[in-house]
A and B are shown apart, each in its own frame.
Chain A
Amino acid sequence: ETGVTQTPRHLVMGMTNKKSLKCEQHLGHNAMYWYKQSAKKPLELMFVYNFKEQTENNSVPSRFSPECPNSSHLFLHLHTLQPEDSALYLCASSQRGLAGGPGELFFGEGSRLTVL
């Protein structure tokens, strides 16, 4: 148990489906993140939320739509995905430092997405 839980752990979807990934953190953190991990590539930051406000959208296609209703929950809504979007999607949280610097990230177990 890492304090960050993600559901579902595995998801298979067709290109025309709409699905959502969910993340919940129980650590009292004020920043949450979505990362994408593809085979043989570094972890790619997708979105950052500080105090529920989106502060970073790292040139992510609009078929990925994040939602952060409160500081403990983060969603990633998926629609009309492409096979190349198949990857492990990791959610993370952290406590933003007093000087604004990044603190230690706590990761969830990830949602393994396969797009057919």
Chain B
Amino acid sequence: EDKVVQSPLSLVVHEGDTVTLNCSYEVTNFRSLLWYKQEKKAPTFLFMLTSSGIEKKSGRLSSILDKKELFSILNITATQTGDSAIYLCAVGVNNNAGNMLTFGGGTRLMVKP
């Protein structure tokens, strides 16, 4: 059974701190790993990673994938209160049904002023 585990479950930091969110996975037919941010309702896409060791960066957010050790990290530097959200990691696999994304349980981040 495909499995995606995120840690920590929740995190409280102060503005300006740097945080690292973790995602480990055990899946068959790995295709990609995706990060989403969910503030209120709809998760919004952050990154898609398919190759090991290549950092993807968007402003204060960055992410990297290690396909040998089967994990990814999401870094947020100089955190702001607007970064408060649930961060979801999902692993994409390709099977007979086609597109499949398995989600982790999420990390709830709270950034205090």
- Listed in ascending order, the chain A residues whose CB lies under 8 Å from chain B are 2, 4, 31, 35, 40-45, 48, 50, 55-56, 88, 90, 94, 96-97, 99-110
Interface size in chain B (residues, C-beta < 8 A)? 26
> Once the chains bind, are B99 and A48 in contact (CB under 8 Å)?
yes
> Once the chains bind, are B97 and A56 in contact (CB under 8 Å)?
yes
Residue in B42, B48, B98, B102 whose CB lies within 8 Å of A100: B98
- Listed in ascending order, the chain B residues whose CB lies under 8 Å from chain A are 4, 31-32, 34, 36, 41-45, 48, 88, 90, 92-94, 97-106
- In the bound assembly, the distance between CA atoms of A109 and B38 in angstroms comes to 10
Nearest chain B CB to A113 CB, angstrom units? 13
Whether A101 contacts B106 in the complex (CB less than 8 A), given A109-B41, A109-B42, comes out as no
Majority-rule SS of B interface residues: strand
Nearest chain A CB to B17 CB, angstrom units? 25
> Once the chains bind, are A105 and B4 in contact (CB under 8 Å)?
no
Residue in A31, A101, A103, A110 whose CB lies within 8 Å of B42: A110
Nearest chain A CB to B81 CB, angstrom units? 22
> Once the chains bind, are A31 and B41 in contact (CB under 8 Å)?
no
Nearest CB in chain B to that of A112: its residue:
B41
Q: Name the B residues within 8 Å of A40 (CB-CB).
A: 105
